[in-house]
């Protein structure tokens, strides 16, 4: 869960910018990202990769920032028109609630993500993005293109994500539940 204080509100995106935050490697979907981004059909679309790793030579309109400090991630996500998380399906990632997706939701940004079991369920329940099969670069490209070409729809999905975050995904809300549980279990006042 993300602390609300780190994500004050969405603001306006920095044009048709797609942002990926995380480890940069083939195991994290780098090949799919480069293949899919080449098919994105939106004027002036750009992709920022933020995270440790060496992506090698990159095509035009793709930039690797390298490692980004934890405190700088919210500002980077606020610049995005779309946040992308194309993780491959693995048993571990299928079970995870992706922090990246919750932070995108906290930022009020629509998400394009892979069909990971828990993450896809979270995105679908909140109505905050598009889920695509990991091995389908064309589906990812189509999802990204549609959100970049339809900024009103992108804002609506981002707003739905922000609302879901505020309602049930803040660190503060979860911390209060945990403290109340401990108080109940120990018989002490919270």
pLDDT digits (tens, 9 = 90+) for 40-63: 999 999 999 999 999 999 999 999
| pLDDT at 149 exceeding the cut of 80 | yes
pLDDT: which is higher, 16 or 87: 16
Predicted confidence at residue 6, as pLDDT, reads 84
Tokens 């909140």 locate to 126
Residues 91-103 pLDDT 10s: 887 888 778 888 9
pLDDT band of 4, cuts 50, 70, 90: confident
Percent of the chain with pLDDT over 90: 69
Beta bridge partners of 170: 2
The answer for residues whose C-beta is within 8 angstroms of residue 145's C-beta and 6 or more apart is: 39, 40, 41, 42, 45
Following DSSP, what letter does each residue of 104-144 receive, concatenated?
A: HHHTT--EEEE--HHHHHHHHHHT-EEEE-TT-HHHHHHHH
Predicted confidence at residue 62, as pLDDT, reads 98
Residues 23-44 pLDDT 10s: 999 888 999 999 999 999 999 9
Q: How far is CA 68 from the centre of its chain?
A: 15
Question: Are residues 1 and 174 in contact, defined by beta-carbon separation less than 8 angstroms?
Answer: yes
pLDDT: which is higher, 137 or 180: 137
Question: Are residues 87 and 120 in contact, defined by beta-carbon separation less than 8 angstroms?
Answer: no
Predicted confidence at residue 121, as pLDDT, reads 93
Percent of the chain with pLDDT over 70: 95
Secondary element (H or E) of residue 63: strand 62-66
| pLDDT at 175 exceeding the cut of 70 | no
Predicted confidence at residue 9, as pLDDT, reads 79
């Amino acid at each position: 869960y993300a602390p609300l204080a780190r994500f004050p509100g969405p603001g306006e995106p920095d044009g048709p910018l797609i942002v990926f935050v995380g480890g940069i490697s083939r195991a994290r979907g780098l090949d799919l990202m480069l293949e899919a981004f080449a098919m994105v059909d939106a004027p002036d679309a750009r992709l920022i990769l933020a995270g440790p790793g060496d992506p090698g030579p990159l095509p035009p309109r793709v930039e690797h920032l390298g490692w980004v400090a934890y405190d700088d991630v919210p500002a980077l996500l606020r610049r995005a028109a779309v946040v992308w998380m194309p993780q491959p399906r693995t048993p571990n990632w299928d079970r995870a609630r992706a922090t990246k997706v919750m932070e995108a939701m906290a930022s009020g940004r629509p998400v394009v993500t892979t069909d990971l079991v828990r993450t896809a369920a979270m995105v679908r329940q909140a109505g905050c993005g598009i889920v695509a099969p990991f091995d389908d670069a064309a589906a990812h490209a189509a999802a990204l293109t549609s959100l970049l070409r339809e900024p009103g729809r992108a804002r609506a999905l981002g707003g739905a994500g922000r609302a879901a975050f505020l309602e049930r995904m803040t660190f503060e809300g979860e911390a209060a539940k945990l403290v109340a549980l401990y108080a109940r279990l120990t018989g002490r006042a919270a």
